[in-house]
């Protein structure tokens, strides 16, 4: 395994599992594709399948966890994963007490097919499913500037709202964060409706 590939995947796993040790497949697809806008939903599903197949992720009843012994690396500010690396990960190995590397058990093709059937990802076009999703980057930037809160903290607060409220879009959670901060909602709504 090249150090660059390991570092890239370690950063991806740090971001993906920084708040929780386990994540449901659909939540990870949503995080990568809609919230962080790193890739399309189909690409997110493909990367998850590759990480499962290469041993970096473990799936149990549609819940993903990083493989045992993975060192997650904190990415620098503004980091984005290199798709070429994460879509073709090397096989993950761990070292046991006697110093010999062992291969993580691979996920069978049957398990991958069951996961894909449970979470079919269909995107009709390159446009987001909700036209307001396109306003998310501008919305985060505006809320951060107006409230003097770091971008990452704005997103973290919005994600916390989504977890507590249930099925709420990210742009709506961001609008709630703006309201909570006492910001001018006319300006916030104008950004949401501008797309």
The pLDDT, as a whole number, for residue 193 is 81
pLDDT computed for residue 132 by the predictor: 74
Which residue in the block uniquely carries the two structure tokens 């009709």? Answer: 124
Mean pLDDT of the residues in the chain: 81
Task: Return the higher-pLDDT residue of 82 and 120.
Answer: 82
pLDDT on residue 148 = 92
Please write the tens of the pLDDT for every residue from 100-125.
444 444 555 555 566 566 555 554 44
Residue 12 scores a pLDDT above 90: yes
Instruction: Name 77's Cβ contacts closer than 8 Å, sequence gap at least 6.
Output: none
What pLDDT, on the 0 to 100 scale, is given for residue 130? Answer: 63
The alpha carbon of residue 46 and the mean position of all alpha carbons in its chain are separated, in whole angstroms, by 13
Per-residue model confidence as pLDDT tens digits over 36-79: 889 988 899 999 999 998 889 998 888 999 988 888 888 888 88
Query: Any idea which architecture 3-118 has in CATH?
Result: Orthogonal Bundle (1.10)
pLDDT score for 5: 85
Per-domain residue ranges of the chain: 3-118, 131-193
- Kindly state the average pLDDT of the residues 18-22: 83
Does this model's pTM top 0.75?
A: no
| Exposed / middle / buried, residue 187 (Cβ in 10 Å: 0-12, 13-18, 19+) | exposed
Structure tokens, 101: 């590397």
Is residue 166 scored above 60 in pLDDT? yes
């Amino acid at each position: 395994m090249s150090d660059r590939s390991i570092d890239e995947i370690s950063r991806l796993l740090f971001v993906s599992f920084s708040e929780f040790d386990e994540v449901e497949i659909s939540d990870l697809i949503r995080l990568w594709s809609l919230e962080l806008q790193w890739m399309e939903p189909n690409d997110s599903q493909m990367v998850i399948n590759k990480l499962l197949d290469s041993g970096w992720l473990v799936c149990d009843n549609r819940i993903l966890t990083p493989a045992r012994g993975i060192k997650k690396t904190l990415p620098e500010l503004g980091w984005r994963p290199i798709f070429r690396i994460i879509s073709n990960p090397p096989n993950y190995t761990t070292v046991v007490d006697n110093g010999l590397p062992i291969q993580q058990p691979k996920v069978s093709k049957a398990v991958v097919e069951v996961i894909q059937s449970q979470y079919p990802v269909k995107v009709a076009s390159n446009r987001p499913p909700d036209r307001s999703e396109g306003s998310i980057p501008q919305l985060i930037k505006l809320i951060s500037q107006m409230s003097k809160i770091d971008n990452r903290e704005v997103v973290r607060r919005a994600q916390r709202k989504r977890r507590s409220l249930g099925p709420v879009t990210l742009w709506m959670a961001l609008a709630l964060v703006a309201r909570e901060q006492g910001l001018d909602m006319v300006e916030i709504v104008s950004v949401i409706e501008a797309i």
